[in-house]
A and B are shown apart, each in its own frame.
Chain A
Amino acid sequence: MRVLQLEINGDAREVAAHDHWTLLEVLRYSLGLVGSKQGCDKGDCGSCTVLFDGKPVLSCLTLAASAVGHQVTTIEGLAPKPTGTLQPVLDPVQVAFNDCGALQCGFCQPGMMLSARALLNTNAEPSREEIHQALSGNLCRCTGYTQIVQAVETAVARIAQGDGASASNDGAAGHSPPDGGVPA
Protein backbone atom coordinates (compact mmCIF):
# COMPACT_ATOMS: atom_id res chain seq x y z
CA MET A 1 0.00 0.00 0.00
CA ARG A 2 1.20 3.50 -0.75
CA VAL A 3 -0.06 7.00 -0.19
CA LEU A 4 -1.09 8.74 -3.39
CA GLN A 5 -1.36 12.50 -3.79
CA LEU A 6 -4.16 12.92 -6.30
CA GLU A 7 -5.79 15.96 -7.82
CA ILE A 8 -9.49 15.23 -8.11
CA ASN A 9 -11.88 17.92 -9.34
CA GLY A 10 -9.35 20.59 -8.51
CA ASP A 11 -8.90 19.39 -4.93
CA ALA A 12 -5.72 17.82 -3.58
CA ARG A 13 -6.71 14.43 -2.16
CA GLU A 14 -4.45 12.08 -0.25
CA VAL A 15 -5.41 8.45 -0.34
CA ALA A 16 -3.79 5.16 0.65
CA ALA A 17 -4.14 2.56 -2.06
CA HIS A 18 -2.78 -0.82 -3.07
CA ASP A 19 -0.83 -0.94 -6.32
CA HIS A 20 -3.53 -3.07 -7.93
CA TRP A 21 -6.40 -0.71 -7.14
CA THR A 22 -7.92 1.05 -10.10
CA LEU A 23 -8.69 4.73 -10.17
CA LEU A 24 -12.39 3.82 -10.23
CA GLU A 25 -12.07 1.80 -7.03
CA VAL A 26 -10.24 4.64 -5.28
CA LEU A 27 -12.82 7.19 -6.47
CA ARG A 28 -15.80 5.13 -5.38
CA TYR A 29 -14.61 3.27 -2.31
CA SER A 30 -11.89 5.48 -0.82
CA LEU A 31 -13.13 8.94 -1.74
CA GLY A 32 -16.88 8.31 -1.88
CA LEU A 33 -17.18 9.79 -5.37
CA VAL A 34 -19.76 7.28 -6.54
CA GLY A 35 -20.86 9.31 -9.56
CA SER A 36 -18.39 7.30 -11.66
CA LYS A 37 -20.22 4.04 -12.28
CA GLN A 38 -18.82 0.54 -12.16
CA GLY A 39 -20.41 -1.17 -15.11
CA CYS A 40 -18.62 -3.86 -17.07
CA ASP A 41 -15.34 -3.09 -15.27
CA LYS A 42 -13.36 -4.19 -18.31
CA GLY A 43 -13.44 -1.35 -20.76
CA ASP A 44 -16.55 -2.04 -22.80
CA CYS A 45 -19.27 0.23 -21.47
CA GLY A 46 -17.81 3.66 -20.71
CA SER A 47 -19.87 4.22 -17.55
CA CYS A 48 -16.67 4.79 -15.50
CA THR A 49 -15.45 7.55 -17.85
CA VAL A 50 -13.56 10.37 -16.14
CA LEU A 51 -11.49 13.17 -17.62
CA PHE A 52 -7.74 12.80 -17.32
CA ASP A 53 -6.13 16.17 -18.04
CA GLY A 54 -9.34 17.02 -19.88
CA LYS A 55 -9.42 13.88 -22.03
CA PRO A 56 -11.87 11.03 -21.49
CA VAL A 57 -10.43 7.80 -20.09
CA LEU A 58 -11.89 4.71 -18.48
CA SER A 59 -11.15 4.76 -14.75
CA CYS A 60 -11.75 0.99 -14.51
CA LEU A 61 -8.69 0.48 -16.73
CA THR A 62 -6.52 3.12 -15.07
CA LEU A 63 -4.34 2.18 -12.14
CA ALA A 64 -4.85 4.62 -9.28
CA ALA A 65 -1.11 5.22 -8.96
CA SER A 66 -0.91 6.33 -12.58
CA ALA A 67 -3.24 9.25 -11.81
CA VAL A 68 -0.58 10.94 -9.67
CA GLY A 69 0.45 14.18 -11.36
CA HIS A 70 -2.64 14.35 -13.55
CA GLN A 71 -5.85 16.34 -13.17
CA VAL A 72 -8.83 14.05 -12.76
CA THR A 73 -12.37 15.33 -13.31
CA THR A 74 -15.31 13.17 -12.30
CA ILE A 75 -19.00 13.89 -12.78
CA GLU A 76 -18.97 15.48 -9.34
CA GLY A 77 -16.44 17.99 -10.68
CA LEU A 78 -18.60 18.82 -13.69
CA ALA A 79 -21.09 20.46 -11.33
CA PRO A 80 -18.87 22.08 -8.72
CA LYS A 81 -20.38 23.58 -5.60
CA PRO A 82 -19.14 27.17 -5.37
CA THR A 83 -17.47 27.98 -2.06
CA GLY A 84 -19.99 28.63 0.68
CA THR A 85 -22.93 27.05 -1.09
CA LEU A 86 -24.40 23.59 -1.21
CA GLN A 87 -26.15 24.11 -4.52
CA PRO A 88 -24.12 22.83 -7.46
CA VAL A 89 -23.90 24.88 -10.62
CA LEU A 90 -24.74 22.51 -13.41
CA ASP A 91 -22.72 22.35 -16.60
CA PRO A 92 -24.72 23.27 -19.73
CA VAL A 93 -24.32 19.64 -20.81
CA GLN A 94 -26.02 18.47 -17.62
CA VAL A 95 -28.83 21.00 -18.01
CA ALA A 96 -29.41 19.88 -21.58
CA PHE A 97 -29.41 16.16 -20.64
CA ASN A 98 -32.00 16.96 -18.00
CA ASP A 99 -34.18 19.04 -20.28
CA CYS A 100 -34.07 16.55 -23.13
CA GLY A 101 -34.84 13.53 -20.98
CA ALA A 102 -31.59 12.00 -22.14
CA LEU A 103 -31.73 9.22 -19.60
CA GLN A 104 -33.86 6.44 -18.33
CA CYS A 105 -32.02 4.44 -15.69
CA GLY A 106 -29.27 7.05 -15.54
CA PHE A 107 -26.38 4.61 -15.20
CA CYS A 108 -24.56 5.67 -18.36
CA GLN A 109 -25.25 9.34 -17.85
CA PRO A 110 -22.13 10.46 -15.92
CA GLY A 111 -19.89 8.89 -18.55
CA MET A 112 -22.01 10.24 -21.40
CA MET A 113 -21.89 13.76 -20.03
CA LEU A 114 -18.14 13.68 -19.42
CA SER A 115 -17.52 12.39 -22.96
CA ALA A 116 -19.78 15.18 -24.24
CA ARG A 117 -17.94 17.77 -22.13
CA ALA A 118 -14.58 16.51 -23.43
CA LEU A 119 -15.88 16.92 -26.98
CA LEU A 120 -17.12 20.46 -26.37
CA ASN A 121 -13.80 21.41 -24.77
CA THR A 122 -12.05 20.83 -28.09
CA ASN A 123 -14.86 21.38 -30.58
CA ALA A 124 -17.43 24.09 -29.86
CA GLU A 125 -19.57 23.27 -32.91
CA PRO A 126 -19.50 19.53 -33.42
CA SER A 127 -21.50 17.94 -36.22
CA ARG A 128 -23.91 15.13 -35.45
CA GLU A 129 -21.35 12.68 -36.82
CA GLU A 130 -18.69 14.10 -34.48
CA ILE A 131 -21.09 13.76 -31.55
CA HIS A 132 -21.74 10.14 -32.49
CA GLN A 133 -18.00 9.54 -32.66
CA ALA A 134 -17.30 11.23 -29.33
CA LEU A 135 -20.01 9.24 -27.54
CA SER A 136 -19.22 5.95 -29.28
CA GLY A 137 -17.30 4.67 -26.27
CA ASN A 138 -20.32 5.03 -24.00
CA LEU A 139 -23.10 2.47 -24.08
CA CYS A 140 -26.70 3.26 -23.15
CA ARG A 141 -29.02 0.27 -22.90
CA CYS A 142 -32.21 2.32 -22.37
CA THR A 143 -32.67 5.35 -24.54
CA GLY A 144 -31.60 4.40 -28.03
CA TYR A 145 -29.29 7.44 -27.97
CA THR A 146 -31.67 9.80 -29.75
CA GLN A 147 -32.28 12.10 -26.80
CA ILE A 148 -28.64 11.87 -25.77
CA VAL A 149 -27.46 13.21 -29.11
CA GLN A 150 -30.27 15.76 -29.01
CA ALA A 151 -29.08 16.86 -25.56
CA VAL A 152 -25.53 17.45 -26.77
CA GLU A 153 -26.85 19.41 -29.75
CA THR A 154 -29.04 21.42 -27.38
CA ALA A 155 -26.06 22.19 -25.15
CA VAL A 156 -24.04 23.26 -28.18
CA ALA A 157 -26.80 25.57 -29.38
CA ARG A 158 -27.35 27.11 -25.96
CA ILE A 159 -23.65 27.67 -25.34
CA ALA A 160 -23.44 29.34 -28.77
CA GLN A 161 -26.31 31.60 -27.73
CA GLY A 162 -24.57 32.30 -24.45
CA ASP A 163 -27.32 30.85 -22.28
CA GLY A 164 -25.91 27.42 -21.54
CA ALA A 165 -27.26 27.38 -17.99
CA SER A 166 -30.59 29.08 -18.70
CA ALA A 167 -32.65 26.23 -17.35
CA SER A 168 -30.19 25.31 -14.64
CA ASN A 169 -31.18 23.60 -11.43
CA ASP A 170 -34.76 23.23 -12.49
CA GLY A 171 -34.45 19.52 -12.05
CA ALA A 172 -38.03 18.93 -10.96
CA ALA A 173 -39.36 20.26 -14.25
CA GLY A 174 -37.31 17.50 -15.67
CA HIS A 175 -38.14 15.98 -18.92
CA SER A 176 -39.94 18.59 -20.94
CA PRO A 177 -38.38 19.08 -24.34
CA PRO A 178 -36.32 22.19 -24.90
CA ASP A 179 -38.01 25.22 -26.38
CA GLY A 180 -36.53 25.52 -29.79
CA GLY A 181 -33.14 24.67 -28.43
CA VAL A 182 -32.58 21.77 -30.79
CA PRO A 183 -30.90 22.81 -34.00
CA ALA A 184 -32.48 21.59 -37.21
Chain B
Amino acid sequence: MLRLPSFQLEEPKSLYAALVLLAEAKGEAMVIAGGTDLLPNLKHGLFAPKLLVSLARIEGFVGIEEEPDGALLVGPMTPLARVAESELVQAKAPALAQAASLVAGPQLRTQGTLGGNVMLDTRCQWYNQTHFWRQSLGYCLKKDGTACHVVQGGKKCVAAASNDTAPALMTLGATLRFERLNEKRELPIKSLWSPDGIWNKRCDKDELLTAIRIPAQDPGHRGAYGKLRTRESIDFPLLGLAARLTLDHEGRVQDAEISGVALAARPSPVRGVADVLRGTLPGTAEFDEAVEAAAQLAYKQLRPLDNVPGSAWYRREMVPVLARRTLQAAAKGEGPVHPL
Protein backbone atom coordinates (compact mmCIF):
# COMPACT_ATOMS: atom_id res chain seq x y z
CA MET B 1 0.00 0.00 0.00
CA LEU B 2 1.37 3.39 -1.01
CA ARG B 3 -0.34 6.36 0.63
CA LEU B 4 -0.29 9.86 -0.75
CA PRO B 5 1.15 12.55 1.52
CA SER B 6 -1.33 15.06 2.85
CA PHE B 7 -2.06 18.06 0.63
CA GLN B 8 -4.84 20.48 -0.15
CA LEU B 9 -6.54 20.09 -3.54
CA GLU B 10 -8.04 22.93 -5.54
CA GLU B 11 -10.01 22.31 -8.71
CA PRO B 12 -10.43 25.71 -10.38
CA LYS B 13 -12.95 25.97 -13.20
CA SER B 14 -11.18 28.74 -15.09
CA LEU B 15 -7.65 29.34 -16.30
CA TYR B 16 -7.60 32.69 -14.50
CA ALA B 17 -8.52 31.07 -11.18
CA ALA B 18 -5.76 28.51 -11.66
CA LEU B 19 -3.19 31.20 -12.43
CA VAL B 20 -4.25 33.15 -9.33
CA LEU B 21 -3.92 30.03 -7.17
CA LEU B 22 -0.45 29.32 -8.55
CA ALA B 23 0.66 32.93 -8.06
CA GLU B 24 -0.61 33.06 -4.49
CA ALA B 25 1.03 29.74 -3.62
CA LYS B 26 4.48 31.26 -4.29
CA GLY B 27 6.06 27.98 -5.36
CA GLU B 28 4.39 25.81 -2.71
CA ALA B 29 1.90 24.38 -5.22
CA MET B 30 2.16 21.74 -7.90
CA VAL B 31 -0.04 21.31 -10.95
CA ILE B 32 -1.85 18.03 -11.49
CA ALA B 33 -3.15 17.10 -14.95
CA GLY B 34 -4.02 13.41 -15.42
CA GLY B 35 -2.01 12.51 -12.33
CA THR B 36 -0.46 9.38 -13.82
CA ASP B 37 3.07 10.74 -13.35
CA LEU B 38 2.60 13.02 -10.35
CA LEU B 39 0.62 10.70 -8.08
CA PRO B 40 3.10 7.78 -8.17
CA ASN B 41 5.87 10.31 -7.57
CA LEU B 42 3.99 11.73 -4.58
CA LYS B 43 3.42 8.21 -3.27
CA HIS B 44 7.17 7.66 -3.55
CA GLY B 45 7.79 10.77 -1.47
CA LEU B 46 9.55 12.61 -4.30
CA PHE B 47 7.57 15.83 -3.76
CA ALA B 48 5.67 17.28 -0.82
CA PRO B 49 3.51 20.12 -2.14
CA LYS B 50 1.16 21.92 0.23
CA LEU B 51 -1.31 22.52 -2.57
CA LEU B 52 -2.24 20.64 -5.74
CA VAL B 53 -3.95 22.69 -8.43
CA SER B 54 -5.95 20.37 -10.65
CA LEU B 55 -6.50 21.34 -14.28
CA ALA B 56 -9.26 18.77 -14.75
CA ARG B 57 -12.19 21.13 -14.46
CA ILE B 58 -10.80 24.12 -16.37
CA GLU B 59 -13.09 24.91 -19.26
CA GLY B 60 -11.62 24.75 -22.73
CA PHE B 61 -8.55 22.72 -21.77
CA VAL B 62 -9.69 19.58 -23.60
CA GLY B 63 -9.94 19.42 -27.36
CA ILE B 64 -8.22 19.27 -30.72
CA GLU B 65 -9.00 22.08 -33.13
CA GLU B 66 -7.87 22.83 -36.64
CA GLU B 67 -7.02 26.48 -37.15
CA PRO B 68 -7.78 28.27 -40.43
CA ASP B 69 -4.15 27.92 -41.55
CA GLY B 70 -4.24 24.15 -41.02
CA ALA B 71 -2.39 24.17 -37.69
CA LEU B 72 -3.65 21.95 -34.88
CA LEU B 73 -4.31 23.44 -31.48
CA VAL B 74 -4.42 20.81 -28.75
CA GLY B 75 -5.66 21.59 -25.27
CA PRO B 76 -3.19 20.52 -22.57
CA MET B 77 -5.78 18.33 -20.80
CA THR B 78 -6.66 16.37 -23.93
CA PRO B 79 -6.31 12.70 -22.96
CA LEU B 80 -3.57 10.78 -24.76
CA ALA B 81 -6.17 8.23 -25.90
CA ARG B 82 -8.07 11.01 -27.66
CA VAL B 83 -4.90 12.30 -29.31
CA ALA B 84 -4.08 8.77 -30.47
CA GLU B 85 -7.57 8.12 -31.83
CA SER B 86 -8.11 11.53 -33.42
CA GLU B 87 -8.42 11.22 -37.19
CA LEU B 88 -7.25 14.82 -37.47
CA VAL B 89 -4.03 14.08 -35.59
CA GLN B 90 -3.52 10.78 -37.42
CA ALA B 91 -3.80 12.60 -40.75
CA LYS B 92 -1.86 15.76 -39.98
CA ALA B 93 0.61 14.67 -37.30
CA PRO B 94 1.01 10.89 -37.61
CA ALA B 95 4.09 10.69 -35.39
CA LEU B 96 2.19 12.33 -32.54
CA ALA B 97 -0.84 10.04 -32.87
CA GLN B 98 1.50 7.04 -32.93
CA ALA B 99 3.55 8.22 -29.95
CA ALA B 100 0.39 8.90 -27.93
CA SER B 101 -0.93 5.44 -28.83
CA LEU B 102 2.17 3.82 -27.34
CA VAL B 103 2.21 5.67 -24.01
CA ALA B 104 1.65 3.13 -21.23
CA GLY B 105 -1.59 1.10 -21.29
CA PRO B 106 -5.24 1.88 -22.05
CA GLN B 107 -6.17 3.09 -18.56
CA LEU B 108 -3.20 5.43 -18.35
CA ARG B 109 -3.93 6.82 -21.82
CA THR B 110 -7.50 7.53 -20.71
CA GLN B 111 -6.20 9.45 -17.71
CA GLY B 112 -2.89 10.84 -18.93
CA THR B 113 -2.93 14.02 -20.98
CA LEU B 114 -0.80 15.47 -23.76
CA GLY B 115 0.17 18.45 -21.60
CA GLY B 116 1.09 16.12 -18.77
CA ASN B 117 3.24 14.01 -21.07
CA VAL B 118 5.11 17.09 -22.31
CA MET B 119 5.66 18.23 -18.72
CA LEU B 120 6.58 14.74 -17.45
CA ASP B 121 9.23 14.59 -14.76
CA THR B 122 12.48 12.96 -15.83
CA ARG B 123 12.87 9.34 -14.77
CA CYS B 124 15.69 7.23 -13.39
CA GLN B 125 15.80 3.75 -11.89
CA TRP B 126 17.57 5.23 -8.85
CA TYR B 127 14.91 7.91 -8.41
CA ASN B 128 11.45 6.49 -9.18
CA GLN B 129 11.47 4.30 -6.08
CA THR B 130 9.90 4.34 -2.64
CA HIS B 131 11.45 6.43 0.11
CA PHE B 132 12.57 3.25 1.90
CA TRP B 133 14.41 2.08 -1.21
CA ARG B 134 16.05 5.44 -1.87
CA GLN B 135 17.02 5.84 1.77
CA SER B 136 18.66 2.41 1.75
CA LEU B 137 20.70 3.50 -1.25
CA GLY B 138 21.75 6.79 0.33
CA TYR B 139 19.55 8.83 -2.04
CA CYS B 140 20.75 10.37 -5.32
CA LEU B 141 21.55 13.70 -6.97
CA LYS B 142 17.98 14.30 -8.11
CA LYS B 143 16.45 13.91 -4.68
CA ASP B 144 17.99 14.37 -1.21
CA GLY B 145 21.44 13.00 -2.07
CA THR B 146 24.84 14.08 -3.36
CA ALA B 147 25.90 11.13 -5.50
CA CYS B 148 24.84 10.02 -8.97
CA HIS B 149 24.47 6.26 -9.36
CA VAL B 150 24.31 6.41 -13.15
CA VAL B 151 27.53 8.31 -13.83
CA GLN B 152 30.10 7.56 -11.12
CA GLY B 153 31.35 10.85 -9.74
CA GLY B 154 28.84 12.73 -11.88
CA LYS B 155 27.85 16.16 -10.64
CA LYS B 156 24.93 16.64 -13.00
CA CYS B 157 21.70 14.66 -12.86
CA VAL B 158 21.15 12.59 -16.00
CA ALA B 159 17.65 11.27 -15.27
CA ALA B 160 16.00 10.55 -18.61
CA ALA B 161 13.34 12.55 -20.39
CA SER B 162 10.78 9.77 -20.89
CA ASN B 163 7.92 11.48 -22.68
CA ASP B 164 6.99 9.62 -25.85
CA THR B 165 5.24 12.62 -27.34
CA ALA B 166 8.24 14.96 -26.94
CA PRO B 167 10.31 13.76 -29.93
CA ALA B 168 7.16 13.51 -32.05
CA LEU B 169 6.23 17.10 -31.24
CA MET B 170 9.82 18.14 -31.96
CA THR B 171 9.75 16.66 -35.46
CA LEU B 172 6.43 18.45 -36.00
CA GLY B 173 7.88 21.83 -34.98
CA ALA B 174 5.29 22.27 -32.23
CA THR B 175 5.15 25.38 -30.09
CA LEU B 176 3.98 25.55 -26.50
CA ARG B 177 2.07 28.35 -24.83
CA PHE B 178 3.01 29.02 -21.22
CA GLU B 179 1.09 31.37 -18.98
CA ARG B 180 1.27 32.79 -15.52
CA LEU B 181 -0.69 35.64 -14.01
CA ASN B 182 -0.50 38.60 -16.44
CA GLU B 183 2.17 36.87 -18.52
CA LYS B 184 2.01 34.76 -21.63
CA ARG B 185 4.70 33.41 -23.95
CA GLU B 186 5.14 30.98 -26.82
CA LEU B 187 8.10 28.62 -26.87
CA PRO B 188 9.16 26.18 -29.62
CA ILE B 189 9.28 22.76 -27.99
CA LYS B 190 12.81 22.30 -29.32
CA SER B 191 13.88 25.19 -27.07
CA LEU B 192 12.14 23.81 -23.98
CA TRP B 193 14.73 21.27 -22.92
CA SER B 194 17.73 21.79 -20.72
CA PRO B 195 20.37 19.12 -19.94
CA ASP B 196 19.61 19.16 -16.20
CA GLY B 197 17.82 15.98 -15.12
CA ILE B 198 16.54 17.60 -11.93
CA TRP B 199 14.39 20.04 -13.93
CA ASN B 200 14.88 19.57 -17.67
CA LYS B 201 12.66 22.38 -18.87
CA ARG B 202 13.41 26.00 -19.62
CA CYS B 203 10.24 27.22 -17.95
CA ASP B 204 9.52 28.11 -14.37
CA LYS B 205 7.62 25.69 -12.18
CA ASP B 206 4.78 28.18 -11.70
CA GLU B 207 4.28 28.58 -15.44
CA LEU B 208 1.30 26.70 -16.80
CA LEU B 209 1.32 24.96 -20.18
CA THR B 210 -1.96 26.15 -21.68
CA ALA B 211 -1.80 25.06 -25.33
CA ILE B 212 0.17 22.91 -27.73
CA ARG B 213 0.23 24.16 -31.32
CA ILE B 214 1.32 21.99 -34.21
CA PRO B 215 1.86 24.08 -37.33
CA ALA B 216 0.41 23.01 -40.66
CA GLN B 217 2.72 20.47 -42.28
CA ASP B 218 3.85 20.34 -45.88
CA PRO B 219 1.63 18.11 -48.11
CA GLY B 220 4.65 15.79 -48.43
CA HIS B 221 4.92 15.34 -44.67
CA ARG B 222 5.47 11.78 -43.46
CA GLY B 223 5.99 10.85 -39.83
CA ALA B 224 6.30 7.84 -37.58
CA TYR B 225 7.24 6.93 -34.02
CA GLY B 226 9.17 3.94 -32.77
CA LYS B 227 9.35 2.76 -29.18
CA LEU B 228 11.43 0.19 -27.38
CA ARG B 229 9.90 -1.15 -24.18
CA THR B 230 10.01 -4.18 -21.94
CA ARG B 231 6.42 -5.22 -22.40
CA GLU B 232 4.05 -4.17 -25.13
CA SER B 233 2.18 -1.97 -22.71
CA ILE B 234 2.41 0.09 -19.56
CA ASP B 235 6.11 0.85 -19.73
CA PHE B 236 7.88 4.12 -20.17
CA PRO B 237 10.22 4.07 -23.17
CA LEU B 238 13.59 2.39 -22.98
CA LEU B 239 14.15 4.32 -26.19
CA GLY B 240 11.82 6.37 -28.34
CA LEU B 241 12.48 7.78 -31.82
CA ALA B 242 10.32 10.03 -33.95
CA ALA B 243 11.07 10.41 -37.64
CA ARG B 244 9.90 12.97 -40.15
CA LEU B 245 10.32 12.98 -43.92
CA THR B 246 9.16 15.78 -46.16
CA LEU B 247 8.77 14.60 -49.75
CA ASP B 248 8.74 16.92 -52.77
CA HIS B 249 6.26 16.72 -55.65
CA GLU B 250 8.28 13.91 -57.24
CA GLY B 251 8.20 11.93 -54.01
CA ARG B 252 11.88 12.51 -53.25
CA VAL B 253 13.09 13.42 -49.78
CA GLN B 254 13.36 17.18 -49.41
CA ASP B 255 13.92 17.30 -45.68
CA ALA B 256 14.21 14.78 -42.86
CA GLU B 257 14.56 14.69 -39.12
CA ILE B 258 14.94 12.22 -36.25
CA SER B 259 14.55 12.98 -32.55
CA GLY B 260 15.09 10.57 -29.67
CA VAL B 261 13.99 10.26 -26.07
CA ALA B 262 14.87 8.12 -23.01
CA LEU B 263 18.54 8.93 -23.48
CA ALA B 264 19.58 11.59 -20.98
CA ALA B 265 17.84 14.59 -19.47
CA ARG B 266 16.64 16.07 -22.73
CA PRO B 267 15.11 14.67 -25.89
CA SER B 268 17.71 14.97 -28.62
CA PRO B 269 17.52 15.64 -32.34
CA VAL B 270 20.01 13.80 -34.57
CA ARG B 271 22.14 16.18 -36.61
CA GLY B 272 22.73 15.72 -40.33
CA VAL B 273 19.84 13.38 -41.11
CA ALA B 274 18.42 15.65 -43.81
CA ASP B 275 21.80 15.85 -45.55
CA VAL B 276 22.13 12.09 -46.04
CA LEU B 277 18.51 11.53 -47.07
CA ARG B 278 17.88 14.56 -49.29
CA GLY B 279 17.13 13.76 -52.94
CA THR B 280 16.55 10.04 -52.42
CA LEU B 281 13.36 8.30 -53.50
CA PRO B 282 11.66 6.05 -50.94
CA GLY B 283 11.37 2.47 -52.14
CA THR B 284 14.71 2.53 -53.96
CA ALA B 285 18.06 1.01 -52.95
CA GLU B 286 19.47 4.52 -52.83
CA PHE B 287 16.91 5.49 -50.17
CA ASP B 288 17.60 2.33 -48.17
CA GLU B 289 21.32 3.17 -48.16
CA ALA B 290 20.59 6.73 -47.04
CA VAL B 291 18.36 5.38 -44.27
CA GLU B 292 21.23 3.16 -43.14
CA ALA B 293 23.54 6.19 -43.11
CA ALA B 294 20.98 8.13 -41.08
CA ALA B 295 20.69 5.19 -38.66
CA GLN B 296 24.46 5.25 -38.22
CA LEU B 297 24.32 9.00 -37.51
CA ALA B 298 21.73 8.27 -34.81
CA TYR B 299 23.97 5.49 -33.43
CA LYS B 300 26.90 7.89 -33.14
CA GLN B 301 24.95 10.74 -31.60
CA LEU B 302 22.32 9.15 -29.35
CA ARG B 303 23.91 7.53 -26.34
CA PRO B 304 21.52 6.00 -23.82
CA LEU B 305 22.75 5.94 -20.22
CA ASP B 306 22.10 3.44 -17.44
CA ASN B 307 19.37 5.69 -16.08
CA VAL B 308 16.25 3.73 -17.02
CA PRO B 309 15.75 -0.05 -17.05
CA GLY B 310 17.31 -1.99 -19.91
CA SER B 311 21.09 -1.89 -20.22
CA ALA B 312 22.58 1.16 -21.89
CA TRP B 313 24.51 -1.16 -24.20
CA TYR B 314 21.37 -2.90 -25.46
CA ARG B 315 19.44 0.33 -25.83
CA ARG B 316 22.30 1.87 -27.81
CA GLU B 317 22.51 -1.13 -30.13
CA MET B 318 18.79 -0.70 -30.71
CA VAL B 319 19.19 2.96 -31.74
CA PRO B 320 20.06 2.25 -35.40
CA VAL B 321 17.52 -0.58 -35.57
CA LEU B 322 14.73 1.67 -34.40
CA ALA B 323 15.99 4.60 -36.53
CA ARG B 324 15.99 2.46 -39.68
CA ARG B 325 12.57 0.96 -39.04
CA THR B 326 10.98 4.25 -38.03
CA LEU B 327 12.30 6.08 -41.10
CA GLN B 328 11.06 3.27 -43.34
CA ALA B 329 7.68 3.29 -41.59
CA ALA B 330 7.43 7.06 -42.12
CA ALA B 331 8.26 6.67 -45.81
CA LYS B 332 5.57 4.04 -46.24
CA GLY B 333 2.98 5.90 -44.19
CA GLU B 334 3.05 3.12 -41.62
CA GLY B 335 3.88 2.77 -37.94
CA PRO B 336 4.05 2.85 -35.04
CA VAL B 337 7.16 0.74 -34.68
CA HIS B 338 7.45 -1.38 -31.57
CA PRO B 339 9.76 -4.28 -32.14
CA LEU B 340 8.95 -6.47 -29.14
Contacts and interface: CB of A to CB of B under 8 A. Distances in A.
A77 interface: no
A38 B2 CA distance: 9
Interface in A79-138: 115, 118, 132-134, 136-138
B11 interface: yes
Contact of A58 (B3, B7, B44, B108): B108
A164 interface: no
A63 B2 contact: no
A13 interface: no
A46 B105 contact: yes
Contacts of B4: 20-22
Contacts of A168: none
Contact of B107 (A20, A56, A133): A56
Given A19-B7, A19-B9, A22-B4, A61 B110 contact: no
A65 B234 contact: no
Contacts of B9: 19-20, 63, 65
Contact of B43 (A42, A49, A58, A138): A42
A58 B44 CA distance: 17
Given A56-B110, A137-B105, A19 B36 contact: no
A49 B107 contact: yes
B154 interface: no
A57 interface: yes
B309 to A, nearest CB: 12
A44 interface: yes
Given A19-B8, A20-B6, A65-B11, A56 B40 contact: no
A62 interface: yes
Nearest to A119: B106
B54 A56 contact: no
Contacts of B104: 43, 137
DSSP class of B's interface residues: helix, strand, loop or mixed?
loop
Contacts, number: 89
A22 B1 CA distance: 12
B111 A57 contact: yes
A55 B110 contact: yes
A85 to B, nearest CB: 32
B220 interface: no
Interface in A129-163: 132-134, 136-139
Given A19-B9, A63-B35, A115 B106 contact: yes
A70 to B, nearest CB: 10
Interface string B5-45: 11111010000000000000000000010011001100110
Nearest to A133: B106
A23 to B, nearest CB: 11
B99 to A, nearest CB: 16
B40 A136 contact: no
B233 A61 contact: no
Nearest to B43: A42
B106 A43 contact: no
Given A19-B6, A62-B35, A137-B105, 13 more contacts: A19-B9, A20-B5, A42-B2, A42-B40, A43-B39, A55-B81, A55-B110, A58-B107, A61-B40, A61-B108, A62-B111, A137-B108, A137-B233
Interface of A: 18-22, 38, 41-44, 46, 49, 52, 55-58, 60-63, 65-66, 115, 118, 132-134, 136-139
